[in-house]
Amino acid sequence: MTKRIFRSILLVSGLVLLVGLGCMLAVFRQYFDGQLEKELQQEASYLSIAVEDSGADALEKLSSQRERVTWIGADGKVLFDNRADSEGMENHGDREEIQEALEKGSGQATRYSSTLGEKTVYYALRLEDGTVLRVSTTQYTTASIVLGMLQPVLWILILALVLSGIFASRASKTIVAPLNKLDLDNPELNEPYEEVAPLLGKIGHQQRTIRRQLKEARRQQEEFAMITGHMEEGLLVIDKQTDLLSWNPSALRLLGSKEARAETSVLSLNRSEPFQKAVEGALAGSRTETLLEVNGVFCRISANPVLDEGAVKGAVLLLVDVTETMQRENLRREFTANVSHELKTPLTSISGFAEILQDGLVQPQDIRKFAGRIFDEAQRLIVLVSDVIKISQLDEGSVPYEAETVELSEMVNGILTRLTPAAEKNQITLHTEGTAKLRTVKPILEEVLYNLCDNAVKYNRKGGKVSVDLRQEKDFIEVSVSDTGIGIPAADQSRVFERFYRVDKSHSKEIGGTGLGLSIVKHGAAYLGASLDLQSSPGEGSTFTLHWELSENDQTGK
């Protein structure tokens, strides 16, 4: 802008300078022409008086250096000329100024010589005797004057232009400076020029609108980020070039990616084929679902196209973590297969014994023994089925019991009494120590403790020991069941809580376990809000500990 103003000012001043110079020249020219004419007239008038008085003598004394003076007879013959020999001069009767003077008393004419760049101005005055006295002078033409003065004029022009340039530069800077200092954040507070006030007003109005819209857009973005940021589900919004427009932390976590950048392809987050197909499918305009596994995490991806007037503008991908569902499903499938297998074994035995009895292949004295075997297998079946029911109930959280305050020592004594016959068979001694009171779901706790004590007896050695210690502190309660039995190898310690997992599979049948006991313990403890810990060393024994942290309510309620 400064440059434009500078150029405009320079151009205008240049033009003004030229036009002014031209006008001045014309005015001067006119003025000097007028002056010259006047001088010629005066001179002619003085000379005419002298000639009329003294005749040609008055002219003889005239110098040839001054204006040219010519005296012409009434017939046009040159009588005298102070610059030339009048004898040799042609008749002047036809000259314009002479004719005019003869007719009107005075005459005037101007003649140009383009070769010399001169003009001659003539003034003729008729004398009383009819002769004509002519005074003339030569003057340069405007063009020749200009040409003659070209160099100084050019210098003046250059000087004027340089000065104009300096002033134009200063002026343009002075004009632009207030505009450069404008505070566009608050345009209406500026007062540089009256003329720009409407423009500033408009800018101010537009800025307010933009600020309002930005605020609204930011609010919506923050709202979106807050909502999606707390979502468990992953959310990705992409454009039709697969470039990321929006995403939330869950999406990155589920895709196993640490960071994302806007305007980069979503495929850089996960390069697996199913993910690529889901993205491509949605961008082709159809809803696509796929299951993806990243580092052991399963997620279901629903990719939906975003349509605008029938054209695909992008896609929205929703990612849901289904790992737990998948694991539960796998567990259930495995459990069903295991249950079927576990049921089949006793049923096959029962069916086999019954068939032998039916075919009369058993000696009468052995019938009781066979019936006993059938009874044992049926008992195993009953225990197994009841364990399956218990574990299913815990799985589904559909336990039909209410919480009550339980005196743990009473419960433990009851359990140990029930286990005394089995313990006596192997001369195992049972102990309990301490007391504790807990508000809990009694049947589940009883089941948990029974299974622990039952295992402590089952997996003990002859003459071994089982002790149940109860400990009630201000802020926790602990129940530990210890035995001096065979112990559990370190490698199996984390697996014994799995359904149907047994350390010694061949031995388990004669011991009579279902493989579900510790699984019930684990689920039961979780249901009762207790943590479960196992310490064991093979050949020395095992200790299972249940631990309840007491809240302030529990402490005051005891």
Residues of this chain that interact with ligand ADP (CB under 6 A) are 451, 455-456, 459, 483, 485-488, 496, 501-504, 508, 513-519, 542
Compute the least distance from the CB of residue 487 to ligand ADP, in Å. 6
Residue 336 CA to residue 306 CA, distance in Å, equals 43
Compute the least distance from the CB of residue 400 to ligand ADP, in Å. 24
Compute the least distance from the CB of residue 522 to ligand ADP, in Å. 9
Residue 285 CA to residue 307 CA, distance in Å, equals 8
Compute the least distance from the CB of residue 433 to ligand ADP, in Å. 18
Closest residue by beta carbon to ligand ADP:
513
Instruction: Decide whether 300 or 465 has the Cβ nearer to ligand ADP.
Output: 465
Return the number of other C-beta atoms located less than 10 Å from residue 505's C-beta: 10
Instruction: Decide whether 394 or 496 has the Cβ nearer to ligand ADP.
Output: 496
Residue 311 CA to residue 88 CA, distance in Å, equals 109
Q: How far is CA 384 from CA 387, 454, 522, in A?
A: 5, 15, 17
Instruction: Decide whether 148 or 512 has the Cβ nearer to ligand ADP.
Output: 512
Compute the least distance from the CB of residue 341 to ligand ADP, in Å. 14
Compute the least distance from the CB of residue 544 to ligand ADP, in Å. 7
Task: Identify the residue whose tokens are 């009048």.
Answer: 86
Compute the least distance from the CB of residue 261 to ligand ADP, in Å. 51
Residue 227 CA to residue 221 CA, distance in Å, equals 10
User: 437-440 and 465-472 as β-strands: parallel, antiparallel, unpaired?
Assistant: unpaired
Instruction: Decide whether 472 or 508 has the Cβ nearer to ligand ADP.
Output: 508
Compute the least distance from the CB of residue 495 to ligand ADP, in Å. 9
Instruction: Decide whether 428 or 518 has the Cβ nearer to ligand ADP.
Output: 518
Instruction: Decide whether 305 or 485 has the Cβ nearer to ligand ADP.
Output: 485
Name the residue among 349, 256, 334, 360 with its Cα closest to residue 516.
334
Instruction: Decide whether 67 or 483 has the Cβ nearer to ligand ADP.
Output: 483
Instruction: Decide whether 305 or 487 has the Cβ nearer to ligand ADP.
Output: 487
Instruction: Decide whether 198 or 421 has the Cβ nearer to ligand ADP.
Output: 421
8-state DSSP, 89: P
Residue 466 CA to residue 484 CA, distance in Å, equals 7
DSSP string, 415-452: HHHHHHHHHHHTT-EEEEE---EEEE-HHHHHHHHHHH
By 3-state DSSP, what share of the chain in percent is helix, strand and coil, each rounded to 5?
55, 20, 25
Which residue intervals of 434-548 are DSSP H helices? 442-458, 490-493, 505-511, 517-528
Structure tokens that stand for 54 in this block: 């003294």
Compute the least distance from the CB of residue 477 to ligand ADP, in Å. 21
CB 240 within 8 A of CB 258: no
Contacts for 459 with CB less than 8 Å, ≥ 6 apart:
483, 485, 486, 511, 542
